[in-house]
Structure 1
Amino acid sequence: MHIETPTKIIAKSKEEVYNFLTDLQNFEKLMPESIDKFEILDEDTFLFALSGMPQIVLKRKEQIPHEKVVLGAASDKLPFTLSALIEEKDAGTSEVTLSFEGEFNAMMAMMIKGPITNFIGTLSENLTRI
């Protein structure tokens, strides 16, 4: 399953956006209002829980300075990644696209597509306010 947000314009340089996204504590600022729990587990891992949803643990999988940050599921039960692609629009302005990639059976994909789309949409929208 592949879900991608529309590209958002961020009034920060690509370096500033990258630095923001590589500090995992900042993801708490991007979470939906329905967040029940957010906890940093180690320098590369955090967990969060939204109302009515199970806890999700995300681990930093890849970083390409000032261009890309990839987080992935810490568990192999539901393998997925969440990537932020950062491009410079002009000096002091960046374009960011979030994409979700996951391997799910058809039934699971059907159940989670709506909530995942809403979740990454909220992350993307909140990123415009950093």
Structure 2
Amino acid sequence: MQLETDKVHVNKSQEELFQFLLKVDNFEKIMPSSIQKFETTGDDSFLFQLKGMPEIKLLIKEKQAYDKITLGAKSEKLPFSLITLIEEDSQAENKSYVQLQFEGNFNPMMSMMIKSPLKNFINTLAENLSKL
């Protein structure tokens, strides 16, 4: 299953946004309001839980300065990646664009159940990034 957000405009430079997202505790600032738990579990990992959902543990798996950060599930039970693509805004100084992409390998039944909540989740993350 693949999902992606629209590109959103962020009031941070490409490098600034990249550095912001490398600090995993900053993800708490962009989480949906339905968050019930957020905890950093290392320099490159964190866990969170949204209302009515199981706890999810994420780890920075790849970073490509200054345009890509890939988070992956720590558990092999639900293999997925959340990819953040960052582009410099060539029209404005100290601004950038960001797009989130979700890639997961789920059975059709699981995909059907989680597609809508996941789409809402990544759209909320993108929207909250645009408010930084």
- TM-score (norm. length: structure 1): 0.98
Match of 2:126 in 1: 124
Identity of aligned residues (%): 53
Give, in angstroms, the shift of residue 129 of structure 1.
Answer: 1.2
Q: Which residue of 1 aligns with 2:112?
A: 110
Alignment partners' CA distance in 1, 2:2 and 2:55? 21
Whole-angstrom distance in 2 between the partners of 1:54 and 1:34:
13
Q: Is the 8 A contact 2:71 2:83 kept in 1?
A: yes
SS in structure 2 at match of 1:69: strand
* Structure 1 segments (4+ residues) deviating >2 Å: none
How far apart, in 1, do the equivalents of 2:104 and 2:39 lie? 23
- Give 2:42's aligned residue: 42
Q: Deviations over 1:52-88 (max 9, x none)?
A: 1100000110001111011000000000000100011
Instruction: Show structure 1 runs of 5+ residues with no match.
Output: none
Counterpart for residue 59 of structure 1 = 59
For the 8 Å contact 2:23–2:44, the answer to whether it is kept is no
Q: One-letter code of the match for 2:47?
A: L
Question: Alignment partner of 2:41: what SS?
Answer: strand
**Aligned Cα RMSD in Å?**
0.6
